[in-house]
Structure 1
Amino acid sequence: MKKLQSIARFLKIARVIGRYRLDELLPSSMQPIQLKLILAPFKLGRAPQLNRAERLRLALEELGPIFVKFGQLLSTRPDLIPPDLIIELNKLQDRVTPFDGEIFCALVEKALGHPLTDIFDEFDRQPLASASIAQVHTATLKNGDKVVVKAVRPNIEKTIVKDVGLMRLLAHILERYAPHGKRLKPIAVVEEYQQTIFDELDLMRETANASQLKRNFEQSPLLYVPNVYWPYCRRNVMVMERIYGAQVTDIATFNKEGIDLKVLAERGVEIFFTQVFRDNFFHADMHPGNVFVDISDAQSPSYIALDMAIMGSLDREDQYYLARNLLAMFRRDYRQVAELHVLSGWVPKSTSVGAFEAAIRAVCEPIFEKPLKEISFGEALITLFQTAQRFEMPVQPQLVLLQKTLLNIEGLGRQLYPDLDLWETAHPYLEKWLKERFAPKSLWKELKRQAPEWLEKFPEVPHLILETTQNMNQLAQIAPQLQNAASTTAHKNTQSQRQYFTKALVVLGVSTGVYFGWEQLHQLPAAAIACLAGSVVLWQLFK
């Protein structure tokens, strides 16, 4: 049944593409013969009397939220997409065709369990904004607070299930038949995307994300996150403080108010890197409809973040290797880039570092011959990963959101300030972050964070030392036999051999101590104590 639904959805996609003549966006020479054959039956009717930008926008809207989000991403890349398409795709940010206001009100009343008049003094039945997943209306609470009410579109989940089912079917085909299908892990990527899109349907999750992000920037003048009203938040409805500002792409207003666009663009970059590296909690849906600017202070503009449904994070190891990769890449230290990819496990351990280094150099050198301000930071990172894929690098799902967000941030930054040198802004921050990560203050903070768990395990340490000592004694009992075997094999028992053998036993004892310490307590201090105990015993045996 699910496969039949996926096939039906595929045919609908083909019908929409054919009806809106979207294939004409590509030159005929670039269209595979299979595509022409599939679309031919759907192009028999009359083409809509619309320009190509309008046809693309309407087609994406008709195809649903997954395709709308793709259009949102394209709208942030004026360096890749023609201006006429950018203007029309910008309408996808918050001007998707709304659903009926009365249906919205009934949905909110059902979710909150009360008539709107019991909670709100005023409630505007005309939407303020309408996006692919949800719709927003303005209201005033009984205490006078101006708020916005957000609700998930009715029945949207069914559409998403069908789209994800189709994507999964295509992923299975790709993984089975494509030359590099298994390495690309398309099924895992679809599963990751499915989790992300369904998380976006849960507004309680978004509410929690907003609270966390607000806490992270509580004392910062760079970013403001609106307050949420927890008593009025449900899985499909949330109520949030109404904000007033200019949309991040409203360049005309910024110029009229005398906003320093260079400062604004650089602050956007700083916010992104702060979220990724300091907080490890970054907004991963930074299209223009979700970013506004407080223009009350022209010389010190600040950002306002909306729609925290999709947030990303990285493992500590990925954070570290990503920062070092970026620094090494822009220093043109291709050897270190290659070594870091191997150390991080992003490419197989068997990869030839020399060959990988040469491949990276061949790709990156033409890029870095340009002035820094002309280099696309996001494209350079993607090119690096594409080069790594030639060396059997598996797709890293945890980096997909980061790549997408970096492209969004850079696209917005260049719209605000075309001469933005993203590297000049990012480089000092990355250098500072790496130094602070291993500074005594940071290590002390980590020690305090781990201390409660270590203290909880500490009563087990005496038993651990006793058990390790017993193991060392057992090892000592067989040591003479091992020594005799070594003497027989070598036909002599010189002092140097005895020292070598003793060192080998010490290494074995320390390794055993590490093993028992790590296996029993899973903590570095316990393993260190076990090592020390084992070393002391062996020292006494062989001194």
Structure 2
Amino acid sequence: MASVRRDRADPVPGAGDTRARYRRILRFAAWHLAVTWWFELLLPRVGLGRIAERTRARRMRRFAQHFHVLAVDLGGLMIKVGQFLSSRLDVLPPEITRELEGLQDEVPPVPFPAIRALAEAELGALDRVFSSVEETPIAAASLGQAHRAQLLPANAAEAGLASVVLKVQRPGIDAIVDVDLAALRKVGGWLRHVRLVSDRADMPALVEEFAQTSLEEIDYLNEAANAERFATDFADDDRVGVPGVAWEWTTRRVLTLEDVSAIKITDAGALAAAGIDPAQVAPVFASVMFDQLFTNGFFHADPHPGNIFVTPNTDSAAERPWKLTFIDFGMMGEVPSRTRSGLRKLLIAAASRDGKGLVTAISEVGVLVPSADTAELERAMTHLFARFGGMGFAELREVDPREFLDFAVEFGDLVRSLPFQVPENFLLIIRAMSLTSGVCSSLDARFNLWDSVEPYAAQLLRDERGNIVQDVAQQAFDAAGVALRLPKRLDGLVTRVEDGSLSVANPRLERQVARLDRTAQRSASALIFGALLIAGSVVRGDDTVLGNVLMIASVVPLLHGLWIGHRGL
């Protein structure tokens, strides 16, 4: 959870507050969708795309600033939405992600009397459970906040814990979550009809995934169960620590667990003071996250720096001098076995710089629709690996920007035209990997993810040797089948050459020709539209009827240009 900034209570919303909140979210979304439609869809269709390009960075920054204000003011799930957006470094421009990063630290605390009232409604009088509870929260988040406490001696003996953290929901959060989800479902429904979005993601399905995660996050019994499951996964791993749960004083709205506060993972000064090299922490953290995603299939979906401590090991006989301690298990993800298999293949292909294997794995996990033509994408990935494969973040920063530009020019249209989509179960996976990458880079600016990927991929290969043998056998069987069918296919090919029916398809060339044709038609329509509009405005001074007719007639080429542009989306 994030640190405290402002002193403002969130009142329990009444019916009027609920309606006003719902309308405010929808007004915000409708306005910015309209602005985006105007600049990104309408203006390019009438030949004014340069205006959109010139103003894009400023518009993105303004949108992020306005959303920042909205999220801090409303709290609730709007904070979570902002946090998701801030972690999408893979698809969102830096103007948005940089502006929203601060949302991790701007959640106002609830005054302690309101927290105490809710906790006592769940546990009874607090002085019968705890010997002390600190009124100043150690952390406040959009859905709850945490206070340090000490259990009474008898209770401490029963739980096996003394120092604990009392985590309590924000009062009225259930109603706030319901309103926010209703508004997000409405916005998701709007986006479903925007082809540029619907071609890439099923927004209503993604909103439902976000809704399920959010509802689980405000159920502290679910979080306690997640913590114990996570602890079981790493029970024999000295790299990982997990706080114990005091089940006797845990309910759906109150969670009591072991206080495991230690060094924040990105606190370089504190790590150095404890004799811990941050550069040694990064690969261990990456490896632990890989284990969660590719082996266990149960992963921490919110591994931002506030949720991970580096805990020095006080046992001098321990093999490792420190461990990573995870907290806040409200947002967890599960990777289905089929998706996990695809992710493993993706990791192995990336480690071996196998462009074809990478595209196959991307298709298997559902990022490409089954009908996608992947030949050109395979060529692009092979080219990418040949030039940039194995480079760390620091090395990539030193590459001549013109090389990236050349790659973008050659393959940009291809990547944008492919039917990529965001599978439903990928929302949390992408978030976890984005945050993992960010934490590792902050620990060590020269951290090279390949150094962690390659040995892990090699281990996966050893673990799946039996599956690989089966794959090789299947490939041999398929090759034999192709060899048996080859004479017949060659005979058919010769026949088609002789009768002149052979045709050769080049999808990339066809796309370029079609795009040029659409551009020419759109330019002609824009020219005719401008000519009629200007002629009408000039003639109208002497002949009102003719002038009006010409101006009205200009709508026809305008609509034609819009229609041509729409066909190209």
Q: What's the TM-score, normalizing by structure 1?
A: 0.66
Where does the alignment leave 5 or more consecutive residues of structure 1 unmatched? 17-25, 40-51, 444-543
Equivalent position of 1:317 in the other structure: 338
Tell me, in whole angstroms, the C-alpha distance in 1 between the residues paired with 2:459 and 2:71.
42
1:101-120 paired onto structure 2 within 5 Å: 101-112=112-123, 114-120=124-130
CA gap of 1:280–1:352, structure 2 versus 1, over 3 A, is same
SS of the equivalent of 1:151 reads strand
CA gap of 1:62–1:344, structure 2 versus 1, over 3 A, is closer
Equivalent position of 2:463 in the other structure: 436
Equivalent position of 2:23 in the other structure: 7
Question: Which one of the candidate residues 392, 400, 413 is aligned to 2:427?
Answer: 400
Equivalent position of 1:137 in the other structure: 147
The percentage of aligned residue pairs carrying the same residue is 26
Where does the alignment leave 5 or more consecutive residues of structure 2 unmatched? 1-14, 33-51, 157-161, 398-403, 471-569
CA gap of 1:427–1:301, structure 2 versus 1, over 3 A, is same
Equivalent position of 1:170 in the other structure: 187
SS of the equivalent of 1:293 reads strand
Please tell me whether the aligned partners of residues 3 and 165 of structure 1 are also in contact (alpha carbons under 8 angstroms): no
Question: Which one of the candidate residues 441, 445, 452 is aligned to 1:425?
Answer: 452
CA gap of 1:133–1:220, structure 2 versus 1, over 3 A, is same
Question: Which one of the candidate residues 443, 458, 474 is aligned to 1:416?
Answer: 443
Please tell me whether the aligned partners of residues 391 and 448 of structure 2 are also in contact (alpha carbons under 8 angstroms): no
Alignment deviations for residues 350-377 of structure 1 (CA, whole Å, 9 cap, x no partner): 433423323444666664385576469x
Equivalent position of 2:493 in the other structure: none
SS of the equivalent of 1:184 reads coil
Equivalent position of 1:128 in the other structure: 138
Equivalent position of 1:347 in the other structure: 368
1:22-37 paired onto structure 2 within 5 Å: 29-30=55-56
How many residues align? The count is 410
1:233-382 paired onto structure 2 within 5 Å: 233-296=250-313, 300-343=321-364, 346-361=367-382, 367-368=388-389, 370=391, 374=395
The one-letter code of the counterpart of 2:23 is: I
Structure 1 position 212 matched with structure 2 position 229 = yes
Tell me, in whole angstroms, the C-alpha distance in 1 between the residues paired with 2:226 and 2:377.
39
Tell me, in whole angstroms, the C-alpha distance in 1 between the residues paired with 2:59 and 2:87.
31
1:193-208 paired onto structure 2 within 5 Å: 193-208=210-225
Tell me, in whole angstroms, the C-alpha distance in 2 between the residues paired with 1:238 and 1:337.
43
Equivalent position of 1:98 in the other structure: 109
Deviation of 1:311 (Å): 0.9
SS of the equivalent of 2:171 reads coil
Deviation of 1:56 (Å): 7.9
RMSD, aligned CA: 4.2
Deviation of 1:251 (Å): 1.3
Tell me, in whole angstroms, the C-alpha distance in 2 between the residues paired with 1:91 and 1:333.
38
Tell me, in whole angstroms, the C-alpha distance in 1 between the residues paired with 2:233 and 2:283.
19
Tell me, in whole angstroms, the C-alpha distance in 1 between the residues paired with 2:222 and 2:277.
35
The one-letter code of the counterpart of 1:116 is: L
Deviation of 1:261 (Å): 1.2
Please tell me whether the aligned partners of residues 188 and 203 of structure 2 are also in contact (alpha carbons under 8 angstroms): yes
Please tell me whether the aligned partners of residues 76 and 408 of structure 1 are also in contact (alpha carbons under 8 angstroms): yes
The one-letter code of the counterpart of 2:337 is: R
The one-letter code of the counterpart of 1:99 is: V
Deviation of 1:165 (Å): 2.1
Please tell me whether the aligned partners of residues 74 and 81 of structure 1 are also in contact (alpha carbons under 8 angstroms): no
Please tell me whether the aligned partners of residues 134 and 152 of structure 1 are also in contact (alpha carbons under 8 angstroms): yes
Q: What's the TM-score, normalizing by structure 2?
A: 0.63
The one-letter code of the counterpart of 2:321 is: S
CA gap of 1:259–1:252, structure 2 versus 1, over 3 A, is same
